[in-house]
Amino acid sequence: MNYLSNKKGFLGIDNKFNFKEKVVVVPFGLEKTVSYGGGTKNGPKEIIKASHQVELYDEELNCEPYKEIGIKTLKPFKINKNINIALKKMSDINEKILNKKLFPITFGGEHSITPGCIAPFIKKHKKLCLLHFDAHADLRQSYNGEKFSHASAIRRCLDHKNVSVISFGIRNISQSEILYLKKNSSRIKIFWAKDKAKWNLNKFKKMIKNKIVYLTFDVDGLDSSIMPATGTPEPGGLFWNETLNIIRIAAKNSIIVGADINELSPIKGFNSYNFLVAKLAYKILSYKFLLSSFKSS
């Protein structure tokens, strides 16, 4: 695998700092099926650029987590415009990373990459639970004639019988998705955004306990007041601290094996949104490697 130098990669760590990587950042700016605002192809490079401004010390964890983790970033590469070929490429990359016993985190791009991201995990694990942050359920069979649309990302993952999903922040769903949800209620659990004040996170803790978890984060799961830089911003979403609390619970109680963050559409001159996503990625990795009671990665 071809890596960027530390300085050019995620977090912009000094090249003099030597470490054995545990994490591989995969920039995968696929933009093929976006249905409103565009620009997700620029998400990965802007997240990496903004990450160079993220403070490496974490006051919550009282350390510089990157020293414990070891993070390398793949050099950007060409992404085929054919979505099936692109998803196969994504799957092959993650398979190589897993074969090296490393932890992949992918920066999209649109959410349609997730079925490709999880393909090697589905083969590796008997059961896989998706921890899904999103404004949308992404349970459509297809959208605008495309089976692998961003609006069908979770549905394509659930085509595999060993996959289940716990979703947070959903507040935009179609009638056809509701019908699918009712038929598959044993595999799909949703913490609806409208019920946020009544969420029972102890219930979530029990639901996720000891499970093998893949975390997929569509940034439109965040409230549009703090994350307008996405193709389909929605009011009524998650805020920073409550988002971290959910991820913290997952890190402490489950085995997070991989992650992706999607749907950032950078807005020129508004770097705070890119910075938010970069810091979110660092927090996910920090919780995974410093809070988990499980040795497996």
Residue 76 — pLDDT band, cuts 50, 70, 90?
A: very high
Q: Is residue 297 part of a domain?
A: no
Identify any residues that bridge with 107 across adjacent strands, giving them in sequence order: 27, 261
> For residue 32, what pLDDT is reported?
66
Banded pLDDT at 270 (limits 50, 70, 90): very high
Residue 171 domain flag: yes
Residue 5 inside a domain? The answer is no
Q: Could you give the number of structural domains in the chain? A: 1
Please name every residue paired with 143 in a beta bridge, in sequence order, or none if there are none. Answer: 146
Residue 126 belongs to some domain of the structure: yes
| Domain range for 99 | 10-291
Comparison of pLDDT for 294 and 44, the residue scoring more:
44
Of 150 and 107, more confident: 107
Q: Name the strand (E) or helix (H) holding 271.
A: helix 271-291
Residue 3 belongs to some domain of the structure: no
Residue at 142 is within a domain: yes
On whether residue 4 sits in a domain, the answer given is no
Integer angstrom CA distances of residue 277 from 9, 87, 143, 173, 233: 15, 23, 27, 24, 15
Average pLDDT over residues 132-139: 96
What pLDDT is attached to residue 33? 53
214: part of which helix (H) or strand (E)? strand 212-218
The pair of structure tokens assigned to 61 is 């964890």
DSSP conformational letter for 147: T
The pair phi, psi for residue 140, each rounded to 5°, is -70, 145
Q: Is residue 128 part of a domain?
A: yes
The model's pTM is: 0.94
Strand partners for 128 = 163
- Closest listed residue to residue 229, CA positions, set 33, 18, 40, 14: 40
**CATH number assigned to the domain comprising residue 69:** 3.40.800.10
